[in-house]
A and B are shown apart, each in its own frame.
Chain A
């Protein structure tokens, strides 16, 4: 599978702060998904973004496939943003490869 490196591994934010999470991957990809894993363990879809930039409320993501990385931006963070964020690229075999995730803690 594709090797995925996410950074930073842990991130502590004060409520209202902005942050950037990075995902590097080892191979060319057909698409890439970002997920938020909530405290109960469910993976929530954030973005399906093989290339370019997308925005959804306070979150946005950019994938530069030719340079093998993707970024997730969180603006005006809230306590509900806490959790683990996973990047998962895949090739044309449709199999997602997950990184170890970035654990985000937002303090009130």
Chain B
């Protein structure tokens, strides 16, 4: 069964260090999403890609976060420098895209702890 892959599953880093997360969507899915989930809350969208283009990054803290999907397949989310408040679960999701094919499927997530 096709799944969204993410790595690493867990990451512990110190404040001011750089971290990067990787996501490989389900094959054929044109739309890719990165979400952040703080403990006790629902996920919040950070950035949405359609193929290699950013569709929405209005909630991405651009002073320290960046995201890319260079070939329109896998994607990387980077934080530099990490801050204590960045501790959260980072979730990647993908969908075929389009009005009738936008069911989103999530990967296992990367749990980030910033010390």
A33–B104 touching, CB < 8 Å: yes
A43–B56 touching, CB < 8 Å: no
B48, B91, B111: which contacts A95 (Cβ < 8 A)? B48
A98–B43 touching, CB < 8 Å: yes
Interchain CA distance A90-B44 in the complex, whole Å:
13
B42, B48, B56, B91: which contacts A100 (Cβ < 8 A)? B42
- For the complex, count residues of A whose C-beta is within 8 A of B: 23
Interface size class of B (residues with CB under 8 A): 20 to 34
Kindly state whether residue A41 has any CB partner on chain B within 8 Å.
Answer: yes
Residue of B with least CB distance to A103: B40
Kindly state whether residue B99 has any CB partner on chain A within 8 Å.
Answer: yes
Contact code string B75-106 (vs A, CB < 8 Å = 1, else 0): 00000000000000101010101010011111
Residue of B with least CB distance to A86: B42
Kindly state whether residue B45 has any CB partner on chain A within 8 Å.
Answer: yes
* Also in contact, A42 and B109, with CB within 8 A (given A33-B104, A90-B102, A94-B102): yes
Kindly state whether residue B108 has any CB partner on chain A within 8 Å.
Answer: yes
Interchain CA distance A48-B103 in the complex, whole Å:
7
List residues of B whose CB falls within 8 A of some A CB. 31, 37, 40-45, 48, 56, 89, 91, 93, 95, 97, 99, 102-109, 111
